Every structure is written in structure tokens, then in C-alpha cells.
Chain A
Amino acid sequence: MKYLLAALIVAGGASAAMAQQLAPSPTLDAVKARGNLECGVHLGLPGFSFANDKGEWSGIDVDYCRALAAAVLGDANKVKYTPTSVQQRWPILQSGQVDVLSRNSTITFSRNATLGLNFQGINFYEGQTFIVRKSTNAKTAADLDGASVCVAAGSTEEKNAADWFRERNLKVTITNFQKNDDAIAAYDSGRCDAYTAGVGALAGQRVKLKVPGDHIILTQPISNDPQGPVTRWGDERWQLIVRWVLNGMIAAEALGVTSANVDEMKANSKNSEVRRLLGAEGGFGAMMGLPDDWMYKAIKQVGNYGESFERTVGMGSPLKMERGQNQLWTKGGLLFTPPFQ
């Protein structure tokens, strides 16, 4: 009887919450009306966002967009990708041409404070390092004293590298290109001794070199560059959705929910966090104005964070990256998600 009463109160509270007016979300309304999600991605970075010759996109950043589309629209394929250069990415997001930017962009204070942008969590812990020719015998960044370094202009890497070498009184010449592809082409043709970018980005771009085996990626990073999906200021409900879809993917991995067992887990799991995540109880989707099976759809169609990682940049991909920092905090990494409660 006591339990029944409690359940009634909870149910009553839940229906009251549902009846409660949701904060307006013009972005969500626009996405639903349009029938597809507009997602800003990188021009072409294998492992992160890359279109093959048929125009099909894949990568860990692309997977996030797909999960978001599955959560919001029920179909992971309802995404339209806008490839953006380093220069264009902020204006394209600011001017509302994309709903979310998922484009291995580093979270920084000044971007957050002055560009009218919010970063909604971390989907990749990147660390900046260098790719050099094996013949140079450089082992760490400090060995690069006197070198020429190619970099994409306007990236965090441009400033990081300049600062890092200056602090150590090492003299390097930094040449800033407008696009990553231009920078790496120049490095490949011998213009520079090193090309600098994040470890993950380098792993992806290495395959574009004429003889990938002649080059080596320095293992010791000179910075940490956490990256994740970005939204505009305003429209808090949309920000909430963007943030919690990412959290949901990480939580799914922590809770052992995969695209293979999601049906079974939804039906039989006794773990109430799993049940809330998958919409079997709690009505969490409705609180954001989504169907309750939002994360179920996302995980069913895209998979949890770990599956996405392995498929796009991990051992199941040509990049063959270790999980490293991008492992769950329980397993020695940095990935962490607040509870679904």
C-alpha cells in the first residue's frame, strides 16, 4: 500500500511535469519541421569526419551527429552534413546554418566567452603533437629546435605550438596554412620538418601522405585539447539535448549497453539507470520534449561511445588508436558522465 502510494505520487509528479510547459526550443522545432539535423563537420579528416567518393560520411564526430539525429528524429540517417574549414566553423554555427557543430574543435575559454558558443561535453580527449620524417631522428617535441613547422591557421595548434616553443626558448618557424589539407600537402612536399595537430587528427591525416611509413607521430603531447559538440548560446533545451545525448552514449558504455544487446537490456535489465537511459522508466525523454526511447534509438542505430570509438578511430579502423585518455574513468581513462537520475 505504501509503495502504491509512493508510485502514485511519483506518477502524479511525472504527469505534472509533462503537463508543465516545456521551455521553447526553436532549434528543436526547426529540426523536427525540417525532418533532418544540420550538422557541421570537418572538411575531411579520416576517423573523425570523412566523406568517401560516394559522399557517405563516417567518423567519430559524424557518429555523434547520427546519434543525435536518432535521438531527436528516430533515424540516424536523417543528418545533413556541412563540411567546414577552420575559418568557417564558428560563423556557420553562429549564423544558424547548422544545429550543432561536431568538428574536432578544442574547448577553450575565449571561444566560450567571446564567440557566443557553448561546448557540450567532451567526445574526444585530444593531445597536440607532431608528425616528422623518421630520417630526422626526432623523438620528442623538444628535439624540434630550429625546425620549420606547418600548421592550420586559426587552430588552437597554431598558438599552442608558438607558446610551447617560446616558453622553452626553442626557435621554430611556424608556417600557417588556411586548411589542414594544404598544410599537410606542404609538409609532404618538404616545405616543413614537422606538421602539428592532435594525435587523433594526425593519425587520420597520415594516410594522406605519399609514403605514410616514412613518417612517425611523436608520442609525447604538448597540450591537452578536449573536444566535443558545440552549440550556440540560447535555446537551453536544445543545449540540454545535445549534452545528454553525448552523456548517454558514454553512460551506455559504462552500463554495458551496446547496439547488440540494447533490446534485451531494455526489456530485461533490472538496473534502474539502464531502464531510465533506455526509456523503460522515468520518462526522461519527455522532460526534454523527445520521445522516451530517444537513447534507445541512438544506441540501437549508432552504438555506445566505445563501439563508435573502435569503429572509427580505434582498432577496428585504419587509424588503430589506443583508447588512452578516451577510456572510461573506471578503466583508467578520463571519460565520465553524470548519472541518469
Chain B
Amino acid sequence: MLDLLAQTGLNAVYAASYISLVAVGLVLIFGVMGVINFAHGELFMAGAYAIVALYAGLNVPFFLAVAAGLLFVGCLGLLMERALFRPLKDNPLGGLVASIGFLMILQALAVMGFGVRMVHIPPVTQEVIAFSEKVRLPVARLYVIIAAIVLLSALWYFLKRTKFGWALRASAQDPEAAALQGISITQTARIAMFIGAGLAGIAGALTAPLVSVNPHMGHSVIVTAFIVIIVGGVGSLEGAIVASVAYALVHTFVTTFWDGVLADIVGLSLMLLVLIVKPTGLFGSADRA
């Protein structure tokens, strides 16, 4: 029983890691750009396909391929900023529709380039850290956990301790006042889109060898990310991380001790409950919605 609890705990830590990478990126984009990026799940998918093309296809070393995936998806973010969100910056619903259009394009491109079926990615490592016979942490999963901790800490440092980060937070809180302070809104938007998309991309790239990569894999990721950022409070990075951990714990434990369908119902119900009790999420403030 203790083994089961420990293994489930490890499963939850891994789930929290990749969910928080995706959710934090989504929050960052929403905070700075004010648009809901429906294509965020497809950015995750694009990161996974970068691994398919580079690591599985061209035998590029895995971590190099991951870095390339981060850059590639970050650039997709820049493209979205320039082509979609900047022209539509006074039209949040327009931004929503444009991101939906963009996700359809990304999905179709994946289908045309790699087929409708799942694609194969050879394992990066098959090593497992065995704490006991029944408590085991695959090293490939450990990479995701480490990446999440390192990247999110770096992001936290960047936002709280650097000038850029200060500018980014200022324009997220009040774009007009920030502009008066001489902060370039365009510049901060670019940085936010690059980081936000890049985080989704690296999450997709790192988990690609661990999940089934197919053109529609972004769908379940975006649904989870939406739940998480709502529970955490839209626009709150801390909230997104706390909610990711909470959601991963609840979902993993309910799946293991009851069943997976019930876990989804419980997750959604908890989210509604949070919203009823505190309609702006755990860490949200009323003025951002």
C-alpha cells in the first residue's frame, strides 16, 4: 500500500510538471496579450513533431532537438504575435477566432506532413530509478520534472528580478500606464509570446517520447490547461503552478484508486466549485477578467 501511494505520488509529480509548463505559458500569453490562445495545445503538438522530425527523423541528439523544438515553437509564437494578435489587439474575440484558425492549420499541416496515425519516437533512455520493486521513476520522466523546475524557476527569476520581467509584469497589469513609462508594448508582447509558446513547445518536445504523438494530441492538453488556469486564477503564474499540482494530485489519485472517467468528473466539478466559492480563481483578482 505504501508502495502504491509512493508510486502514485511520483506519477502526480510528473503530471504536475508537464501540465504546469503548458499552463504557465498559457497564463503568460493571456496576461500580456489579453487573448485566449486556443492554439496552445497545438503548440504543444508542434513541439512534439519537432522531435519527430529532428530526433526520430534526422537522428539529431535528443536534447539538441528539444532546444530546436523550443526555438521553433517560440518562433511560431512570434509569428502568431505578428500575424494575428498584434493586428487584432483591440479585438480579443477576434484573437480567439484567429487562434482557432491557426490551430486548424497546424493540425492539418501535421496530418499532411506525418499522416493521421501516431508516429514513432525511439526512447531516449530506458533507465529507471528504482526506489523499490514497485516504486520506480523512469529517467525520461525525470527529465520532464527537472525541466519544469528549472524553467519555471528561471521564469520566476526573470519576471521578478530583471528589468525585462518588470516591464512584462507592468504591461500585463496596466498596458497604458506601462506605455507611458516608456515600455514598448510590442517588445513585451514578443517576449511573452516567445516564452509562452516556447514553454508549450518544450513540454511537447520533452514528453514526445512518452506519449502517443498524433495530430490531435493537443486537444486534451488544452482542456486540462484551461481547467488549471481557471482554478489558479487567470493571469496568475503562481496560481497556475499551484493549481497544476493540485489538479495533478487529484486526477492521479482518483484514477489510481477509483477510475479515470470519475477523475475527469471530479476535476471538472472541483473547478466549478472553486469558481462558485471564489469566482476569480484561487489567486486571481477581479480586475483582470
Q: Are A and B bound to each other?
A: no
Give A contacts to B, CB under 8 Å: none
Give B contacts to A, CB under 8 Å: none
